[in-house]
Amino acid sequence: MQYTTSTPVTAELGRQVLNLPVVSSDGEFAGTMREYLIELFRRLWDGRADLQHGMGDGDLRWRYDLYRPLQQAGLLPAWIEASGIGWRSPGKAFPEDKHRADSIIDRAIGQLGVPS
C-alpha cells in the first residue's frame, strides 16, 4: 500500500499499519506493530514494562519505536532523528505530526481485537 502524509486516519488504516515492521531502538524486539503492541501489553501486565519506560532498559523514547515505521511508510513527514516526531528540518516544532502519529496508533490499537 502506498501511503502519504495526507492519507486519512481511519479504522482501515489502523488495521493496515498493524502489519508494518517494528524494530525497537534497543534491538530487543523485532516484529510487526501488532506483535509489538501485544508484547507491550503482556509486559505491562506482568510488571516487566511501564508506560514511562516501555519495554526497554529505561528508554524514555519507546513510543518512537512505533512512530518510526509510520514515518518510513510515508504517513508522517521526515523528522530530525535526534529530536523525534514533531520536529522537521530545520528544527521547527510541528506538534500536529505527533498528534497524527498518536491518532494512527490509537486507530491501530482499536483494531487489535478485530479479526484480520
Whether residue 1 lies inside any domain: the answer is no
Tell me if 51 is assigned to some domain. Answer: yes
Tens of pLDDT, residues 80-105: 555 555 556 565 666 678 888 999 99
Task: Give the model's pLDDT for residue 8.
Answer: 95
Does residue 2 form part of some domain?
no
**Number of domains, the chain:** 1
Mean pLDDT, rounded, for 68-72:
89
Domain assignment of residue 4, yes or no: no
Please return the burial class of 77, using the count of CB atoms within 10 Å of its CB with bins 0-12, 13-18 and 19+.
Answer: middle
23 assigned to some structural domain: yes
Question: The pTM is what?
Answer: 0.82
Range of the domain at 33: 11-111
Element (H or E) spanning 31, and its range? strand 30-32
